[in-house]
Structure 1
Amino acid sequence: MKDIGGRHRVGNQTEPTVFDGHNDVLLKLYRAGGVSAAQTFVSGRDGAIDAAKAAAGGFGGGFFAVYVPSPIDLEFKFKEMTNASYDLPLPDPIDWEDAFPVVMSQAAILFDLEKRGALTVCRSVAQLRETLGSGKLAAIFHIEGAEAIDADLNTLEVLYKAGLRSLGPVWSRSTIFGHGVPFRYPSTPDIGSGLTDHGLRLVQRCDALGIMVDLSHLNEAGFWDVARHSTKPLVATHSNAHAICPHSRNLTDKQLAAIRESDGMVGLNFAVAFLRNDGRMLSDVPLEQMLRHLDHLIDQLGEDRVGFGSDYDGAVVPDDLTTCAGLPHLRAAMKKHGYDDALMAKLCHGNWLRVLEKTWGE
């Protein structure tokens, strides 16, 4: 498979390259040994994304998330989320002193992958376009949960210089900047208070620097605080439609209307609990269910404001898409569903490039 300017050739056919709004590869490599495990991304690893799987699936890159894990029992969490309803308690907040070393360690993995030639950390849309056309993976340095950002925002400035271009103020747990949503079904995202004063300053400084503010995981009050105070498009990198799956992590039609009005963007999350009508963490999800979410998002946002935000290496995903090598199955389903070539290119990567140009000020 060869990349041809935003498309990948498979035999005599070409398909649009997928640029994706969220993955957790860095967390998995961090847990596997850190920088010493980075070579497995090149040589092959037991996970959703590596160099070979990306080439096979036409995966051109995306937002590589840096995330500080909470000490939670994942097996218990996933088992609870297979039930008809659930409400998992929010993990405790993490102090800056504990978060910062973890963020530095995961960022070091990202830059080690760049040194190995596995990817390019892109700081502009021009660089993204060039990298997508080169056959090398294009990566955006993203942080999910701002625990490693201090109240004075000094670390934000340093991380921006290092290449940070996207930031989520919260994961599900609270930070000094705001509050996230729990893993709760059924539920609305209208849970708790919004951004703190520190959070409002963080949003304003991100706008000034050209760091995209990610709304995925923010509760609804925090969402509306960003909408009121940010001058940039509203973007949720990996979220789905609450009208189809009434999970606290999903976006209501009212929120989608605000994203559309701001000329923003939503990346479809492949995590099955946010796709299924019943909110259960079970992987037997047909691709048609993903298309239901895509159709709803396109209907609410317009075809220029929808893309993918897979959550690969961080979530249970549909059986047909367990790794990025399976992405041709999704493209085939989209074509069969009636999406034409122009819409396919927008959904697969074009819309991310569009919204980043507006967000980064290019």
Structure 2
Amino acid sequence: MKIVDFHCDALCKLLLDKELTFKDSKPGILDVTYERLKAAGTVLQTFAIYIPQSLNGRLEPILESLDRFHQLVLTCEDMAFVKTSKDLEACLKQGKIGALLSLEGVDGIQGQIYMLRILYQLGLRAAGLTWNHANWAADGAMEQRGGGLTEKGRRFVEECNNLGILLDVSHLSEQAFWDVAEQSSKPIVASHSNAKAICDHPRNLTDEQIKRIIAMKGMIGITFVPWFVSKEDIVTVDDLIRHIEYICELGGEAHIMLGSDFDGIDRYISGLTQPMELPVLRDALLKRYSAQQTEQIMSANALRFLDQHLPNE
């Protein structure tokens, strides 16, 4: 069964540790590696460009992350850069692992829309406006004032729509979420968020947000961040599936994908610590859902969405 994961932070680790490699990586650091993606049956992995706070606010770390992506990820023989729906189709036919590029927090482009256009030309295909705090574009989920989009943020949303960059709402404040939902003429994605009704965390989605994403024909990436899954000390795959079941109850069966957040966490769901363990989730889903429904969650929903919404060329 194919696997698509819409969010990992491996590029951040590759940025911070200049001795680290993606292939033949030294053990104990990266969750997502080339060998693990191959062994897992992953057909597409989204790599987030996340710049930690100590380096944030400048374009240079974003460009350096792009360079690490090209030098360390795309040089692996069975990795393929996915920028268009045709790239995705070719990747699937050739049995390669697709690599999609996203930006997690737009602080470093400093409100300059021309920088967004340049990043698009360099292959960026998804963008979340904030991390957890406020920047020039919007407030994040942990910003206490809970503000929405700024005027420059609205221009950013409009240009993403024009270019064909997917808008990621996972880290936004509730007001900013609704502003993006109103402003965007294209479907939105929450690349790594769960259901707030199951686990009350600011990074999770309310019922109303989930329903809006579904109504816009967008996507929700179920994430493996333990504290977004359950308040218990030990979090299990069954706890994760409760979020999937709940979103399905709200009408979201065709709008669920995976957004692991591997390499962005230091604590894990029991038995789900890296891509090679994803069959554990698959087998648990097969106890509750048909093979077709399980395949939808593991990959087919995401692949359909990308085929429809990535640029044609």
Q: 1:160 aligns with which of 114, 120, 140?
A: 120
Partner Cα separation in structure 2 for residue 37 and residue 94 of structure 1: 21
Partner of 1:324: 275
Partner of 1:288: 238
Q: 2:11 aligns with which of 18, 26, 33?
A: 26
Q: 1:343 aligns with which of 266, 288, 293?
A: 293
Deviations 1:333-361 (A, max 9, x none): 11112x11211221111111222234335
Alignment partner of 1:248 is 2:202: yes
State how 1:289-304 maps to structure 2 within 5 Å. 289-304=239-254
Partner Cα separation in structure 2 for residue 361 and residue 155 of structure 1: 19
Partner Cα separation in structure 2 for residue 104 and residue 220 of structure 1: 30
Distance 1:152 1:210, change over 3 A: same
Q: Which runs of 5+ in 1 are unaligned?
A: 1-15, 72-92, 184-189
Could you tell me which amino acid in structure 2 is paired with residue 311 of structure 1?
Answer: D
Deviations 1:14-37 (A, max 9, x none): xx211111000111111221xx53
Partner of 2:38: 55
Deviations 1:208-245 (A, max 9, x none): 00000100000100010011110111210000000000
Partner of 2:108: 148
SS at match of 1:199: helix
Q: 1:132 aligns with which of 88, 92, 96?
A: 92
Partner of 2:285: 334
What's the RMSD between the two structures over aligned residues?
A: 1.8
Could you tell me which amino acid in structure 1 is paired with residue 219 of structure 2?
Answer: M
Deviations 1:272-320 (A, max 9, x none): 00000x2x6x4x2111111100101122243110010000111122120
Deviations 1:62-116 (A, max 9, x none): 2100011024xxxxxxxxxxxxxxxxxxxxx943xxx311111111111112134
> Percentage identity across aligned positions?
32
SS at match of 1:115: coil
Partner Cα separation in structure 2 for residue 346 and residue 139 of structure 1: 19
Partner Cα separation in structure 1 for residue 219 and residue 139 of structure 2: 21
Max radius of gyration: which structure?
1
Partner of 1:100: 59
Q: Is the 8 Å Cα contact of residues 191 and 220 (structure 1) preserved in structure 2?
A: no
Partner Cα separation in structure 1 for residue 294 and residue 86 of structure 2: 21
Partner Cα separation in structure 2 for residue 237 and residue 264 of structure 1: 10
Distance 1:262 1:336, change over 3 A: same
Deviations 1:101-144 (A, max 9, x none): 11111111111121343521101123123213433221111110
Alignment TM-score, normalising by the size of structure 2: 0.93
SS at match of 1:37: coil
Alignment TM-score, normalising by the size of structure 1: 0.81
